[in-house]
Amino acid sequence: MVDYAGFVKAAEAGQVGPVALLHGPEPFLLDDAVARLTRALFPGQTELSLAREVLDARTAGAEAIVQAALTLPWLGDRRLVVARGADGLTAKAAEALTAYAKAPNPSTVLVLLADSLLDGSHWLLRALPPASVVAAPALAGRALAAWLRAHAQSVGYELREDAAGLLVELSGDDLTRLVGEVEKAALAGGPENRRVTVAEIRAVVGEHRLRHVFDLTRALSARDPAAALALLESLLNAGEEPLAVLGMLTREARATWQAADALRAGRAPEEIARSLRRPPAAATALLERARSVSVAAAARQLARCWDVERRLKLGGAARPELSLLVADLCAV
């Protein structure tokens, strides 16, 4: 099984195998890999209707997918066939796909996309060679910031490491939103600017939001529920998405747990701040909070955030759920 970063690197060089299965829950990652592969296979080509064919696996079925892959190119010497929703195929498709994978058309790259991370027992993983299977798990933390920097570089921007970390911390893990924020941040530095630093991130996110986010984390550290709830209301009233606010609270709870565990292990505060990639003021507030809770209590805070996420995704009312969460985080 190939990792996503390795596949993307091979795709950019146009060196992928004749069959690939990409599976993961984040559509942007799947689409980005296909876009990079398309650019590598057909550089400078804008009209792709004869070179690339995109199918819905659920409606086309395995036989039509294989037939499309067997079709010879009309123009040039390569074809790309993309079958979306491959996890919607039934196990009956295994025979056709396995047979094709054993003797693929050398002029075609067949890419199957599955909209979820498949477990090891899924028939698709058994039907295709392990070297053709690419897992694209959801990204978070450092991995997300690293991916964002790499993506920015691929489209011509230089995104500083500290700027990427700050953007992820403040804007959550929605890849589409993060990519858009990088582009806006570059424009904030001028029409010709291609370098994105912390200054540009602060400009695009907005000082008002930054202050409220920072003040909310300070209120949590101080266990001041009145101030924390008022700041939560301000963020929601300003149009912040509830899941984005929850994402920020979850990241803070996770960082608190990590810092508390590191302090218990005897690591130096400066080392902890560096490992969590926090600006000095934010690092100070985080360490204060980590010193005030046990590792077990910090773990319970993080679990409470996950519980609220589950409730919201099941249709729970966002404002009451977040208000109770903030009160609970202040109480621990």
CATH number at residue 28: 3.40.50.300
Q: Using one digit for the tens of pLDDT, what is the confidence trace for 87-135?
A: 999 999 999 999 999 999 999 999 999 999 998 889 999 999 999 999 9
> Final residue of a domain: which of 184, 205, 226?
205
pLDDT at 118: 94
Are residues 32 and 78 located together in one domain of the fold? Answer: yes
**CA–CA dist 163, 158 (Å, integer):** 10
Residues 48 and 73 both lie in one domain: yes
Asked whether residue 6 falls in the same domain as residue 130, the answer is yes
Decide: pTM greater than 0.85: no
- The contacts of residue 242 (CB under 8 Å, 6+ apart) are 236, 312, 318, 319, 322
Domain ranges, residue 114: 2-135
Q: What is the pLDDT of residues 126-170, one digit of tens each?
A: 999 999 999 999 888 888 999 999 899 988 899 999 899 888 877
pLDDT digits (tens, 9 = 90+) for 200-230: 887 777 655 666 777 887 888 788 899 999 8
What are 274-284's pLDDT values in tens digits? 777 666 666 77
The yes-or-no verdict on residue 66 having pLDDT over 60 is yes
CATH code where residue 279 lies: 1.20.272.10
Pair (242, 190) in one structural domain: no
Give yes or no: residues 112 and 7 share one domain: yes
77 and 120 fall within a common domain:
yes
Is the domain of 74 the same as that of 108? yes
Q: Among the three residues 82, 105, 135, which one is the final residue of a domain in this structure? A: 135
Let me know whether 9 and 117 are in one domain.
yes
Angle between helices 242-264 and 280-291 (to 10 degrees): 70
pLDDT value of residue 239: 67
Domains held by the chain: number: 3
| The length of the chain, given as a count of residues | 332
pLDDT, position 85: 95
Burial class for 44, CB neighbours closer than 10 Å (0-12, 13-18, 19+): exposed
Confidence label for 187 from pLDDT (cuts 50, 70 and 90): confident
Q: Which pLDDT tens digit goes with each residue over 12-58?
A: 888 899 999 999 999 999 999 999 999 999 987 777 878 899 999 99
Together in a domain, 65 and 154: no
- Give the list of residues 6+ apart from residue 15 with CB closer than 8 angstroms, or none: none
Residues 44 and 166 in one domain: no
Which of 189, 205, 221 marks a domain boundary? 205
Considering the domain architecture, whether residues 271 and 193 belong to the same structural domain is answered as no
- 201 and 236 share a domain? no
- Confirm if 110 and 19 have CB atoms less than 8 A apart: yes
